[in-house]
Amino acid sequence: MGTPAIHLLFLWHMHQPYYKDLVTGEYRLPWVRLHALKDYYGMVKLLDEFPDLHQTFNLVPSLITQLQEYVAGTARDPFLKVAALPAADMDLAERMFAIQYLFQANADNLIGRYPRYRELWQEFHSRPQEAPASARRMTHADITDLQVLSQIAWMDEFFLNDPEVHELIMKGRGYSLEDQQQVIRIQKDLIAKVLPAYAAAGKRGIIEISTSPFYHPILPLICDTDQGSASHSGLPLPARRFSHPEDARDQIARGMALHEQLFGARPRGMWPSEGSVSNEGLTIAHELGIKWMATDEGVLGRSLGTIFQRDSNGRLSGGSAEQLYQIFRWEQGTAEMSMLFRDHSLSDLIGFVYSGVPAKEAAADFLRRVKQAAEPVIQKGRTAVVPIILDGENAWEFYPQSGREFLRWLYDGIQKDPQIAALTVSEAIEREPAPQKLGSIHPGSWINANFDVWIGATEDNTAWDHLSAARDFFTENVGKVSREQAALAYEELLIAEGSDWNWWYGPEHHSANDRDFDELYRKHLSNVYLALGGSAPDVLAQPIAGAHAKPQFTPQTTYIRPTIDGRNIGYFEWLGAASHVADRHSSAMHGKLFLLDTGYAGIDEENFYCRVDFMEHPQEWASRDTKLVVAMETIKPGAGGAGHPFRLEADISEGHLRSWKFATNGDQPEQTISIQAGIESIFECQTPLRLLKAGPGDLLRVRFSLWRDGLPLDALPQEGAMEVRVAPESELSALPYAKP
């Protein structure tokens, strides 16, 4: 064996969610393209300078397919489109979109690196509440400079030496339309270098490329959502149990197939999405031919019934180091898997700490900590296997110069140290003479050895319930449609199973794109129903993120008695009604149509009235198969929030009300002659309280949603519902609910 040594295993996880809407073909966020410019190429290219240093890169299949579309020129990216538009041709909405998205970058290390970019940021983005005024104030020169510099800022250090890019950087400001077109063209050329760089490094043997399940699902939860409470006793679970191990199997198989197609060989290893493992997930991976998997030390600790002891500096105790720093062999029946477990303290130093430390000092500190951590193992005459596993893209935005100086100091120190060998995972496994046996593995992820980030919170469980409903609809209807329709619906389901949607639901994580993620998740699920010839349920028109917050609107203060004709001819008819004005600023996102402006609701002695105002006249947007749904619900006192649902569905075409139907619990009642509805410039309807089974003391909830071709366009309110209490007119002004 030779002198005991440290086998240092770097595994860089390269991943982005699937941002493409399969029905429209449009990318809803730009992060695949931007990280392809900044991180993916440079991370592997840097190893050319350190030929003795081997590493593992985990390339998620859904990332690979999106990169391939950008290279092929088939990716429809609205963020790239707005960066390419001539400034003189941009309207106010496009200018506001540019302000919202082209400044989404680290203010110090990306924006601040370019003086003109920082100047624009300070002038037009430092006060987001003034975005409309800022957009109007921007000159054509301002916009063009923003468009060019927002793209250059994401380019990798290696790309900055390109003569064309360097010339653009040196220009600094005053960019022309030709410069703008040039930077767009350069992007495609640079992105085309990414995957070939990995393939070439893999062929040279300096890297190993591993894979993940195709759309990055949490495998244990796809197999069975009850694993959420197995990892955290007492965790609230979704109302509908999701259990589809066949989907988990297909996600892994698809990922392996794409890897083989691209790199010419089946992958040996897999980083399971979010480091999430369970006995069932490992068994499926073994059956498909995966030889090794990795997760976090917390999972190992709970599997062994121990806690890894660390001192105040994060250093493991001797016994803990001996347990962690080795290769394990998991065995269950005939299934087996080589396993390694990340040192989360060392990994997190790179991911979250060293960005604020001078590069040379950070590299030296890391090497010192690695050697101290491994010392107890080496003293026992064993080789210490130290896994460093972390995200390979997002951390570098927080480092000066994308962390290249830090990595160079670190890699140089490793290469010069005879005690350390930087290996791929498979190399380390091959050198391990007697891996430690491991029986049943605790179900968990890299975060706290449980799945709490993705299940248990109200928003998370709502998302799972929506997924379960769509999966059940697929099972019931897949045999009724063509092969192409079934394939599209199934693909949308697999996409919706990805971990990234629930990463942003619940209390743990938030970003400027929360609503974009929410919108896209619900769109993927809506597409399942559409592909199968059905209509998406109304609930998919309502955001999940923040949907459980108390709705805010102006309550009803007096009875109303409007004329139901769809004409906005009198202010006083609806004076005193409850009202809700759309919050278009907080929910702004690209691709989102804002068509519903203000909703009204109110009662008199016998009727419930609803009205919705539009952003534009219905003739401008109400094409074939457009539906306006008024979802009403009667809540009885003491019912605990449970109510009786009713639904008025109006078919609108070319601005006219063609037909409508009223239903309760899915069945159309026999007598609806007393219901009235009308549309011209606005929509109005009147429904007798007796049809709604509403009496004194009851609460009426109402929500409007607009649909076209079976997919949701807009909803009002975006979150929650408007509320009206059935009460005598004298009491309405004193009711304490729904304060504005």
Ramachandran quadrant class, 205 (left: phi over 0; alpha: psi -120 to 50; beta: rest): left
Cα–Cα dist 86/180, whole Å: 8
Residue 719: pLDDT above 50?
A: yes
> By percentage, how much of the chain surpasses pLDDT 70?
92
Burial 423-446 (b: 16+ CB within 10 A, else e): bbbbbbbeebeebeebeebbbbbb
**Residue 666 gets which letter from DSSP?**
T
The contacts of residue 430 (CB under 8 Å, 6+ apart) are none
pLDDT category at 203 given cuts 50, 70, 90 is very high
The contacts of residue 653 (CB under 8 Å, 6+ apart) are 622, 623, 624, 625, 626
Instruction: Give the tens place of pLDDT for each residue, 345-386.
Output: 999 899 888 988 899 999 999 999 999 999 999 999 999 999
- What's the topology of domain 572-732? Immunoglobulin-like (2.60.40)
Q: Are 147 and 98 in contact (CB under 8 A)?
A: yes
pLDDT category at 314 given cuts 50, 70, 90 is confident
Burial class (CB in 10 A: 0-12, 13-18, 19+), 169: middle
3-state secondary structure of 528: helix
The contacts of residue 52 (CB under 8 Å, 6+ apart) are 415, 422
Cα–Cα dist 492/525, whole Å: 7
- When pLDDT is averaged across residues 71-83 and rounded to a whole number, the result is 94
- What type of residue sits at position 478? V
The contacts of residue 291 (CB under 8 Å, 6+ apart) are 268, 269, 337, 338, 426, 429
Residue 550: pLDDT above 80?
A: no
Q: Are 477 and 534 in contact (CB under 8 A)?
A: yes
* Partners of residue 292 on adjacent β-strands: 269, 338
Cα–Cα dist 492/258, whole Å: 18
The average confidence (pLDDT) of the chain is 90
Residue 158: pLDDT above 50?
A: yes
> Maximum CA pair distance of the chain?
93
Instruction: Give the tens place of pLDDT for each residue, 558-591.
Output: 899 998 988 876 657 888 888 888 765 433 333 3
Q: Does the structural domain 458-537 have CATH classification 1.20.1430.10?
A: yes
Residue 694: pLDDT above 60?
A: yes
Q: Per the structure block, which two tokens stand in for 302? A: 């709970």
Per-residue confidence (pLDDT) for residue 639, from 0 to 100 = 65
Instruction: Give the tens place of pLDDT for each residue, 404-415.
Output: 999 999 999 999
pLDDT category at 248 given cuts 50, 70, 90 is very high
Per-residue confidence (pLDDT) for residue 588, from 0 to 100 = 33
Q: Are 193 and 200 in contact (CB under 8 A)?
A: no
**Residue 440 gets which letter from DSSP?**
S
pLDDT category at 401 given cuts 50, 70, 90 is very high
DSSP character string of 245-307: HHHHHHHHHHHHHHHHHHHSS--SEE--GGG-B-HHHHHHHHHTT--EEEEEHHHHHHHHT--
- When pLDDT is averaged across residues 89-101 and rounded to a whole number, the result is 92
Q: Per the structure block, which two tokens stand in for 440? A: 């049943």
Cα–Cα dist 533/486, whole Å: 10
Per-residue confidence (pLDDT) for residue 433, from 0 to 100 = 82
In terms of Cα–Cα distance, which of 424, 383, 421, 498 is closest to 268? Answer: 424
Rg over CA atoms, the chain: 29
Burial class (CB in 10 A: 0-12, 13-18, 19+), 507: exposed
Instruction: Tell me the CA distances in angstroms from 307 to 277, 316, 327, 556, 688, one per residue in order.
Output: 19, 10, 18, 58, 64
Angle between the N-to-C axes of helices 140-152 and 163-171, in degrees from 0 to 180, rounded to the nearest 10: 140
3-state secondary structure of 387: strand
Q: Per the structure block, which two tokens stand in for 456? A: 């248990």
Per-residue confidence (pLDDT) for residue 672, from 0 to 100 = 61
Per-residue confidence (pLDDT) for residue 133, from 0 to 100 = 86
Residue 507: pLDDT above 80?
A: no
pTM: 0.79
> By percentage, how much of the chain surpasses pLDDT 90?
70
Angle between the N-to-C axes of helices 245-263 and 194-204, in degrees from 0 to 180, rounded to the nearest 10: 80
Instruction: Determine which helix (DSSP H) or strand (DSSP E) holds 205, and give its type and residue range.
Output: none
Cα–Cα dist 146/120, whole Å: 7
Cα–Cα dist 551/460, whole Å: 20
Ramachandran quadrant class, 710 (left: phi over 0; alpha: psi -120 to 50; beta: rest): left
Residue 465: pLDDT above 80?
A: yes
> How many CB atoms neighbour CB 190 within 10 A?
19
Cα–Cα dist 18/215, whole Å: 7
pLDDT category at 552 given cuts 50, 70, 90 is low
Instruction: Determine which helix (DSSP H) or strand (DSSP E) holds 56, and give its type and residue range.
Output: strand 55-59
Per-residue confidence (pLDDT) for residue 434, from 0 to 100 = 82
Q: Bigger pLDDT: 614 or 324?
A: 324
> How many CB atoms neighbour CB 455 within 10 A?
28
- When pLDDT is averaged across residues 513-522 and rounded to a whole number, the result is 89
Instruction: Give the tens place of pLDDT for each residue, 631-666.
Output: 999 999 876 656 889 999 999 887 788 888 898 865
Instruction: Determine which helix (DSSP H) or strand (DSSP E) holds 597, and give its type and residue range.
Output: strand 596-603
Residue 594: pLDDT above 90?
A: no
> How many CB atoms neighbour CB 246 within 10 A?
11
The terminus-to-terminus CA distance of the chain in angstroms comes to 74
Q: Per the structure block, which two tokens stand in for 379? A: 């003293």
The contacts of residue 89 (CB under 8 Å, 6+ apart) are none
Per-residue confidence (pLDDT) for residue 657, from 0 to 100 = 86
pLDDT category at 734 given cuts 50, 70, 90 is low
Cα–Cα dist 598/535, whole Å: 25
Instruction: Determine which helix (DSSP H) or strand (DSSP E) holds 193, and give its type and residue range.
Output: none
Instruction: Give the tens place of pLDDT for each residue, 167-184.
Output: 999 999 999 999 999 999
CA 427 to chain centre: 34
- When pLDDT is averaged across residues 244-259 and rounded to a whole number, the result is 98
Q: Where are the domains of the chain?
A: 458-537, 572-732
DSSP character string of 671-727: --TT-EEEESSEEEEEEETTTTT--TT-EEEEEEEEEETTEEEEEESSSS-EEEE--
Residue 668: pLDDT above 60?
A: no
Cα–Cα dist 170/188, whole Å: 21
3-state secondary structure 82-109: HHHCCHHHCCHHHHHHHHHHCCCCCHHH
